[in-house]
Amino acid sequence: MSGRCTGPACDSVDRVIELNQLTKHYGSVLAVNGLTFTVRPGQVTGFLGPNGAGKSTTLRMLLGLNTPTSGTAVIDGRPFREFGTGLRHVGALLDANDVHKGRTANAHLAALACSNGLPRRRVQEVLEMVGLGEAGRRRIGGFSLGMRQRLGIAAALLGDPPVLLFDEPVNGLDPEGIRWARELFRRLAGEGRTVFVSSHLMSEMANTADHLIVIGGGRLIADEPVGDFAARAANAGVTVRTPDPDALAEVLRNVGASVLAESQGTLSVTGLTAARINELAFTHRVMVHEVTAHGGSLEDAFMQLTADSVQYRAGDPR
């Protein structure tokens, strides 16, 4: 699905989010520290980091709600504030509870539609898209957290935008809701949109994201495809079958991989991705019959990489 553009979002410009040395100080707290990365269309990009890593601050700067101390954050080359009717360009869910609780869902969405020059019919359309088609006349104050998350997602979809940002969107959703959200994000990306989704839980991203941007303590830790990220886990490995195991082992060890010769012609390699091993074998003219990546839970990779930046850690249970 990723990379294929089939929907209305395909007509728009390049839909790229770009951060360049983005930094935010809150007094003595350095919340975001020189973040530089690009988020591309046609795929779901997970924005991961432990609590307090700086995800929300980054998204708020991207939406012009917080002012960076230095650096820039732009969408299609422009700061968000320069988009007049914002919801047509960028849909965002930041805080599902940041709504007027006395209003009905219909009234909330109708006000947003009106201020963004969007047709009133979109209100019912998006409510149905998020499974709240029957709840439009209910007051938001009576909604569960899961329903508020769905309402926030509906608001983000109101302008049918090519770029979507979601901050912890599955908080409060039940398992069916999480599956629904995952499929929605993948469908939106499949339509060619840029979908950027934050979470502090790797498990939420494992089956959703194509690409991961991981931060810790406000700094960039990883920016790579999900498969490459998983390969970083200590228990990840690649099995290689080759008619010339000695030659390949030498090539791989020379670039720092750890190589274990197993049965005849089979090597167990850690520290390199399957793609990199293929490249090296090709470059050094060593024939390979099989290169299979295995193991490496994303959760393990995430815990290992962010271990030093976790701000709040529970004591050992007694």
Ligand X SMILES: Nc1ncnc2c1ncn2[C@@H]1O[C@H](COP(=O)(O)OP(=O)(O)OP(=O)(O)O)[C@@H](O)[C@H]1O
200 binds ligand X (CB under 6 A): yes
Closer CB to ligand X, 41 or 52, in the complex: 52
68 binds ligand X (CB under 6 A): no
Closer CB to ligand X, 94 or 277, in the complex: 94
Stretch that binds ligand X, among 51-59, 139-147, 152-160, 250-258 (CB under 6 A): 51-59
Interacting residue with ligand X among 12, 43, 45, 56 (CB under 6 A): 56
Closer CB to ligand X, 110 or 212, in the complex: 212
51 binds ligand X (CB under 6 A): yes
From the number of C-beta atoms within 10 Å of its C-beta (0-12, 13-18, 19+), residue 42 rates as buried
97 binds ligand X (CB under 6 A): no
Closest to 135 in 3D by CA, of 167, 106, 171: 106
Interacting residue with ligand X among 19, 44, 48, 53 (CB under 6 A): 53
Three-class DSSP labels, the chain: CCCCCCCHHHHCCCCCEEEEEEEEEECCEEEEEEEEEEECCCEEEEEECCCCCCHHHHHHHHCCCCCCCEEEEEECCECHHHCCCHHHHEEEECCCCCCCCCCEHHHHHHHHHHHCCCCCHHHHHHHHHCCCCCCCCCEHHHCCHHHHHHHHHHHHHCCCCCEEEEECCCCCCCHHHHHHHHHHHHHHHHCCCEEEEEECCHHHHHCCCCEEEEEECCEEEEEEEHHHHHHCCCCCEEEEECCCHHHHHHHHHHCCCEEEECCCCEEEEECCCHHHHHHHHHHCCCCCCEEEEECCCHHHHHHHHHHHHCCCCCCCCC
**What is the C-alpha to C-alpha distance for residues 208 and 289, in angstroms, rounded to an integer?**
31
Q: β-strands 43-48, 211-216: how paired? A: parallel
54 binds ligand X (CB under 6 A): yes
Report in angstroms how near the CB of residue 78 gets to ligand X at its nearest: 23
Closer CB to ligand X, 73 or 109, in the complex: 73
Stretch that binds ligand X, among 44-52, 124-132, 148-156, 158-166 (CB under 6 A): 44-52
Closer CB to ligand X, 15 or 55, in the complex: 55
**Residues numbered 8-27 forming contacts with ligand X, rule: CB under 6 A:** 26
Report in angstroms how near the CB of residue 232 gets to ligand X at its nearest: 20
Report in angstroms how near the CB of residue 244 gets to ligand X at its nearest: 48
Interacting residue with ligand X among 1, 3, 13, 29 (CB under 6 A): 29
Stretch that binds ligand X, among 47-55, 86-94, 96-104, 152-160 (CB under 6 A): 47-55
Contacts of 147 (CB under 8 A, 6+ apart): 132, 135
192 binds ligand X (CB under 6 A): no
Number of residues this chain uses to bind ligand X (CB under 6 A): 12
Interacting residue with ligand X among 15, 40, 55, 89 (CB under 6 A): 55
232 binds ligand X (CB under 6 A): no
Report in angstroms how near the CB of residue 166 gets to ligand X at its nearest: 12
Q: Which residues of this chain interact with ligand X, rule CB under 6 A?
A: 26, 29, 31, 49, 51-57, 200
